[in-house]
Amino acid sequence: MVVVRPLAGAGTIAAMRQIFLDTETTGLEVAGGDRIIEIGCIEMIDRRHTGRRLHHYVNPQRPSHPDALRVHGISDSFLADKPLFAAVAEELLAFVAGAEVVIHNAGFDIGFIDAELDRLGLPRFAQHAERITDSLTLARELFPGKSNKLDALCKRLEVDNSQRELHGALLDAGLLAEVYLRMTRGQKSLVIDGAEDTAGHHADESVDLRCFELPVLQASADENAAHEAVLAEIDTASKGKTVWRAAAVA
C-alpha cells in the first residue's frame, strides 16, 4: 500500500519518525529477474536528521544491464564479494519498523524489495512500515505538467545535487530528504504539540491573536533609496515594462 501524506499544513505536525529510502538495481524489470544491488536509508525525527542511516551494497547474483550500469556505475566485480540480500533483510526491516517510509516513485523500489522478501518467505515491505509515502505523487500534485524527477526537483527547489554524477542509493536518499522537506515546508500551525508558553497556555488551547500588537518597522531613507535604485535598474533592463511603474503612473 502506497499512500501520500498530506502536506504539512493540515493542522499541527505530530512527532513522526521518517525513513527516506532509495535503491539501485541491475535493471528495470523486476518480473524479468532484475535484482537490488544497493539500498540506502536516512532517518529523520520531527523533520530533523538524526544521523542514523543504513547503507548496503548487495550481490545480486546476476550482471547489471548495460543501461543500468551507465546510471549507477556499480560494476559486477565490485558487487561480487558483497553480502546477499538475505544477509541484510532483517536489518533493513528493523530499521524501517514503525516509521513512515518516503520513496520517490515508490512502486518501483517497493516492487524490487517485495520480490526480494518473497524469495526469503518474509512479509511484504508495507507490513513492516507504518506507512509508505510516494514523493513522486506528491511532486506531481505540486508541480503538474513539469518534470518531477529527483534532479529536476533539486534544481527547482534549490537543493545542491552537484555531487550526483551517478545515481547512488544513500546519496539519493539524502537528496530526497531535502527535497521532501522543501515540498512540505508550509504549515498553518507554528506550535509544538504539548508545548506550554510563558502564560501557562498549552499548544492545543485557543489564543485570540487580536490581543497582540505587532510592531511596524519603517524603512530608513537610505533603505528606501537603495530599493528605488534596484527598481530603476530592473525598469531599465526591461525597457520600461515593469508593472509597478505602469501602476504608479496610472
Which residues are the active-site residues? Answer: 167
Q: Kindly list the distances between the CA atom of residue 119 and the CA atoms of 5, 35, 128, 131, in Å, as whole numbers in the listed order.
A: 30, 11, 17, 23
Burial class (CB in 10 A: 0-12, 13-18, 19+), 171: middle
The SS3 assignment for 102 reads: strand
Residue with cell 527547482: 156
- DSSP assignment, residue 22? E
**Which set of grid coordinates corresponds to residue 245?**
511603474
C-alpha span between 202 and 231 (Å, rounded): 45
Q: What residue has cell string 527516506?
A: 20
